[in-house]
């Protein structure tokens, strides 16, 4: 059987050996691999960045000046399969310090060889170009070992014979001299230029004053013309504004009249609806009750009329009956009186003068004499 081996992204795992004497090698970083017991071998190599500080002391330049140069380099083992295999072949089984020593010696060797081809001024004044040149020369050699140069910079450059200091002083003196000459020439040129500028200033001032006067005159004329034109335009605009305002007021009034007409129509329609409603309400609350009351009164009147007619008929019938009864009584009384008178007449006729005297005597109490006769 075997074991499962895991590895992080900062190191590589190399599994070699296998069944039947196989020479197959497996390179894994940031993953896992299977290794058989007894017949497989597993080894690890770091992929972390290694910081190197190459230092070359007293290396003569192209001019024979001994310089000491220090730098800082960042390198690491490359992860491409072929280059990783090359790095494992070179450094597998060694610790990080051993790898750093090998790469450091290679970088220092190239640094020395490049220092011998350059002047002090080239090295000191353009360090970036110097570092770039070292990277370009050393990269192929360390690349054949599976190492990649991530960065290389020059940290310091100095010497023991004060050449750089003297070079700086000389340069400083040259710069100071040039500065003094430049100041003098600048002051001279400044004086000349100042006089020329004053003359030009006066000329320009005169021309400017002339132009200003012309401009003021033209401005006043133009201003007058503009003012007149502005006044005309203002008057026209005011008149147009007033006319437009009158038109707008007329439109507004016309629209108000139309609105009033519409409102009046709506009011008339509302009033018509109100009249219909009132009429219906009157019909419901007044007319119909009045009609009912009139009908009731009419029915009462008709009943009273019938009653009066019936009463009149009954009274007439009563009077007729009474008349007939009275007539019958009178007739009977008349007949009785006639019969009595007849009998009386017959008696008078039978008794003669005695009867007539009795009749006169009977009638005397009923005759009323005048007062003068009585007294």
Please write the tens of the pLDDT for every residue from 79-103: 888 887 888 878 877 888 888 898 8
Residue 140: pLDDT above 70? yes
Residue 144 belongs to some domain of the structure: yes
Residue 316 belongs to some domain of the structure: no
Residue 92 belongs to some domain of the structure: yes
Backbone angles phi, psi at 43, to 5 degrees: -140, 155
Decide which of 161, 195, 221 is a domain's last residue. Answer: 161
CATH code of 100's domain: 3.30.479.30
The predicted pLDDT at position 373 comes to 47
Per-residue DSSP letter, 161: S
The mean per-residue pLDDT over the stretch 370-375 comes to: 51
Residues with Cβ within 8 Å of residue 18, at least 6 apart in sequence: 24, 36, 39, 40
Say yes or no: 57 and 41 in one domain.
no
Say yes or no: 112 and 127 in one domain.
yes
What sign does the CA torsion over 121, 125, 126, 130 have?
Answer: positive
Say yes or no: 78 and 148 in one domain.
yes
Say yes or no: 153 and 175 in one domain.
no
Label the pairing between strands 50-52 and 66-77.
antiparallel
DSSP string computed for 72-137: EEEEEE--SHHHHHHHHHHHTT--HHHHHHHHHHHHHHHHHHHHTTS-HHHHHH-HHHHHHHHHHH
Say yes or no: 103 and 170 in one domain.
no
What sign does the CA torsion over 268, 274, 278, 279 have?
Answer: positive
Per-residue DSSP letter, 144: T
Q: Measured between alpha carbons, how far is 333 from 144 in angstroms, rounded to an integer?
A: 189
Residue 154 belongs to some domain of the structure: yes
Q: Which domain holds residue 22?
A: 1-46
Residue 364 belongs to some domain of the structure: no
Residue 186 belongs to some domain of the structure: yes
Say yes or no: 78 and 18 in one domain.
no
DSSP string computed for 12-79: EEEEEE-GGG---EEEEEEEEEEEETTTEEEEEEE-S-EEE--EEEEEE-TTS-EEEEEEEEEEEE--
Say yes or no: 72 and 154 in one domain.
yes
Per-residue DSSP letter, 357: H
| Residue with more model confidence, 372 or 212 | 212
Decide which of 161, 184, 206 is a domain's last residue. Answer: 161
Say yes or no: 81 and 123 in one domain.
yes
Decide which of 111, 139, 161 is a domain's last residue. Answer: 161
Say yes or no: 179 and 155 in one domain.
no
- The tokens describing 266, both together, are 């709506």
Q: How many domains, the chain?
A: 3
Q: Supply the pTM of this predicted model.
A: 0.40
Instruction: Choose the weakest-confidence range: 20-24, 162-166, 199-203, 278-282.
Output: 20-24
Residue 25 belongs to some domain of the structure: yes
Q: Measured between alpha carbons, how far is 206 from 215 in angstroms, rounded to an integer?
A: 14
Say yes or no: 119 and 175 in one domain.
no
Say yes or no: 222 and 129 in one domain.
no
pLDDT digits (tens, 9 = 90+) for 281-319: 766 676 667 676 777 777 777 777 777 777 777 777 777
Q: Is 44 in contact with 12 (CB distance < 8 Å)?
A: yes
Say yes or no: 178 and 137 in one domain.
no
Confidence band of 3 (pLDDT split at 50, 70, 90): low
Residue 325 belongs to some domain of the structure: no
Residues with Cβ within 8 Å of residue 45, at least 6 apart in sequence: 11, 12, 14, 77, 87, 88, 91, 92
């Amino acid at each position: 059987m075997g074991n499962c081996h895991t590895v992080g992204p900062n190191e590589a795992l190399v599994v070699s050996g296998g069944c039947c004497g196989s020479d197959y090698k497996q390179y894994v970083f940031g993953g896992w691999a299977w290794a058989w017991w007894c017949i497989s071998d597993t080894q690890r190599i770091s992929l972390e960045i290694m910081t190197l500080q190459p230092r070359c002391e007293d290396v003569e330049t192209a001019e024979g000046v001994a310089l000491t140069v220090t730098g800082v380099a960042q390198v690491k083992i490359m992860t491409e399969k072929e280059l990783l295999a090359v790095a494992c072949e070179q450094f597998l089984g060694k610790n990080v310090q051993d790898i750093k020593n090998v790469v450091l010696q290679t970088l220092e060797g190239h640094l020395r060889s490049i220092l011998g081809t350059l002047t002090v001024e080239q090295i000191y004044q353009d360090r970036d170009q110097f570092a770039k040149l070292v990277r370009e020369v050393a990269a192929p050699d360390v690349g054949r070992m599976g190492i990649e140069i991530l960065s290389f910079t020059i940290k310091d450059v100095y010497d023991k014979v004060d050449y750089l200091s003297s070079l700086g002083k000389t340069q400083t003196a040259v710069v100071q001299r040039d500065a003094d000459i430049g100041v003098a020439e600048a002051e001279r040129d400044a004086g000349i230029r100042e006089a020329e500028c004053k003359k030009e200033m006066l000329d320009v001032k005169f021309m400017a004053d002339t132009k200003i006067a012309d401009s003021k005159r033209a401005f006043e004329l133009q201003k007058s013309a503009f003012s007149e034109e502005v006044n005309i335009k203002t008057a026209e605009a005011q008149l147009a504004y007033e006319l437009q305002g009158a038109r707008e007021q007329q439109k507004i009034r016309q629209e108000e009249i139309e609105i009033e007409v519409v409102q009046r129509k709506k009011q008339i329609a509302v009033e018509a609806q109100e009249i219909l409603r009132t009429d219906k309400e009157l019909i419901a609350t007044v007319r119909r009750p009045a009609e009912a009351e009139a009908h009731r009164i009419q029915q009462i009147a008709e009943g009273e009329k019938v009653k009066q007619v019936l009463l009149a008929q009954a009274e007439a019938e009563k009077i007729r009956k009474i008349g007939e009864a009275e007539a019958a009584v009178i007739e009977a009384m008349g007949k009785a009186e006639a019969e009595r008178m007849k009998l009386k007449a017959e008696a008078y006729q039978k008794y003669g003068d005695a009867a007539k005297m009795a009749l006169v005597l009977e009638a005397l109490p009923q005759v009323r004499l005048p007062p003068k006769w009585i007294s």
